[in-house]
């Protein structure tokens, strides 16, 4: 056997070993991908369940916010505005009567 034939046989053997190792590695990667794909429906079911849970929480928060807003509007219309009307009525009535005593001295009073 000549040196060229020995070198060629050695190269073919090395390439065969390298390709076999690469083939085994590809097989292992494909096996992991298959296992991951098998787990995918379970993961998606969990995601859908969590999304439904979060939707319920957000819907409850929206309803609560709406109810608080309605309560604030009710309070404003039925408590604050009538009290404001009463206060303005009292101020109007007070202006019709002269103030007696308990008056604090101002700068204008000291100039008179």
Query: What are the tens digits of pLDDT across the range 34-82?
Result: 999 999 999 999 999 999 999 999 999 999 999 999 998 888 888 888 8
Give the whole-angstrom CA distance, residue 86 versus residue 80.
10
How much of the chain, in percent, has pLDDT values that exceed 70? 87
E strand spans, the chain? none
Q: What is the pTM of this model?
A: 0.47
What's the N-to-C CA distance of the chain in angstroms?
Answer: 136
Question: Where in the chain are the domains?
Answer: 9-95
């Amino acid at each position: 056997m000549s040196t060229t034939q020995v070198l060629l046989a050695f190269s073919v053997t090395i390439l065969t070993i390298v390709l076999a190792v690469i083939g085994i590695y590809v097989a292992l990667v494909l096996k992991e991908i298959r296992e991951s794909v098998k787990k995918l429906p379970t993961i998606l079911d969990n995601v859908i369940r969590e999304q439904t849970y979060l939707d319920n929480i957000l819907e409850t928060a929206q309803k609560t916010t709406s109810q608080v807003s309605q309560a604030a509007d009710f309070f404003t219309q039925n408590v604050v505005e009538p009290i404001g009307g009463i206060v303005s009525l009292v101020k109007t009535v007070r202006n019709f009567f002269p103030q007696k005593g308990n008056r604090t001295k101002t700068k204008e009073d000291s100039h008179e």
